[in-house]
Each structure stands twice: as structure tokens, then as C-alpha cells.
Chains A and B, each alone.
Chain A
Amino acid sequence: NAGVMQNPRHLVRRRGQEARLRCSPMKGHSHVYWYRQLPEEGLKFMVYLQKENIIDESGMPKERFSAEFPKEGPSILRIQQVVRGDSAAYFCASSPPRGRTMNEQFFGPGTRLTVL
């Protein structure tokens, strides 16, 4: 059973360009979460999605960032007009449908974004 997959693993962008990060959840998982890990910082929640719905985007910056999880295909985290401060590791996690007592989230390997 393949784990959470993210691609690309490394992404280099120049200031002002767009970054698209993709995440395929584990088989059978319908919940996707995005977290950001800045250097020397812990993981910070960004957004929680279910298929075709954004459930909680309280951790998303107000501008330039968006996320989607379409009916078909991977979840996408999109960052427009990137700035140097966006350089970080972005992790995707997935979990099975609600009903479990504990929300165990399974993490992917991350995409390391570097903005030049």
C-alpha cells in the first residue's frame, strides 16, 4: 500500500513565479492536510480539504496561497508570485474518513521549495 506521495520533492522558483505542489493521499483516504515547516520551526497547519471541499483554511496566508482537492487527481497547493519567505518544506498528510476516535494523519515526504 503506497504511502502519501508528493511531487516534486524539490522545487526551485524565482521570485514572482508560481509554485504548484501536488499530493496524492493514501489509498482509501479522503482527507488531506497541508502543513508548512520553516527552517528551525515546527510544522504549521495550513489547510484541510476533503474531495472538492475546503474544510478549514485557517492557517493559509490570506494572499497568494490556494489549495484544491478535485474529484479526480491529486490535491494541489498553489503559491502565486512566490517570495523568498515562502522557502520552506511543505508536507501533505492524509487520513481516512471520520469515524475513528483519533485523527492519525500520515505524512508524505514533503516538497522543499526554494525561492531564489
Chain B
Amino acid sequence: QKEVEQDPGPLSVPEGAIVSLNCTYSNSAFQYFMWYRQYSRKGPELLMYTYSSGNKEDGRFTAQVDKSSKYISLFIRDSQPSDSATYLCAFPPQGGSEKLVFGKGTKLTVNP
């Protein structure tokens, strides 16, 4: 079983739609959860992170974690063309390691 699974898409939605992006993970030791956004030909940038199960909201973005199911989601409300990017879930270092473990990323296009 892969440590992180993320549907690569691509996902195409009309402007204003609600977008749901998801990842599953197998390592129950992960304690916090991140979402990075990567625009084409750019480096990833941290969008949101959360520690606990439940929801965390930041503007149009909501991160949701279900530790019992090892499932995390990122919701984008009122999606905009500027949200078109690849979204990567990421998981923190474990056991003294500093390496982030990334999903493959979901490519999202929001059409005007």
C-alpha cells in the first residue's frame, strides 16, 4: 500500500463551483497535514495546514481531516480561474526525519 494516494485528475470545473480534493494515507503516525498549491512552472507554496481531525477554514478554503479513516480533503468554495493549479497534499517528517511526503498532486482547472 502506498504511503499517500491522491487522484491526479485532471479536474475541470466552472467558475464558482465547489471543488473537493482528497488524499488518503496509510501512516497512522502522521500528526499534521498540509496542502500545497503549485502553479505551472513554479515551486509549491504552503496553502494550509492542520493538526487535528475536523475542519479548518481560511477564506474560501477548508481543510478537513478524518484520522479514523486516514482521509484528508481540501474544499475550495466559489472557485476562481486563479485557483487553477496543482494541489498537493503533504505529510510531515516522522521519527526525526525532515522529509515531507507528498501526494502526486491533483491538477485543477477553473474555467471562466
Give A contacts to B, CB under 8 Å: 4, 31, 33, 35, 40-45, 48, 55-56, 58-59, 91, 93, 95, 102-110
Contact = CB atoms under 8 A, between A and B. Distances in A.
Contacts of A105: 46, 100
Given A91-B43, A109-B42, A110-B43, A102 B97 contact: no
A43 B102 contact: yes
Contact of B92 (A44, A91, A102): A102
Interface of B: 4, 6, 8, 32, 41-46, 49, 88, 92-93, 97-105
A71 B48 CA distance: 33
Contact of A56 (B42, B99, B103): B99
Contacts of B102: 35, 42-44
Contacts of B100: 33, 35, 43, 45, 103, 105
Interface secondary structure of B, over-half rule? loop
A62 B105 CA distance: 27
A59 B98 CA distance: 11
A40 B104 contact: yes
Contacts of A31: 98
B98 to A, nearest CB: 5
Q: Which of B6, B99, B104 has the largest count of A CB atoms less than 10 A from its CB? A: B99
A107 B43 contact: yes
Contacts of B4: 42
Given A42-B6, A102-B32, A107 B98 contact: no
Given A42-B6, A43-B44, A43-B88, A48 B99 contact: yes
Nearest to B89: A42
Nearest to A46: B99
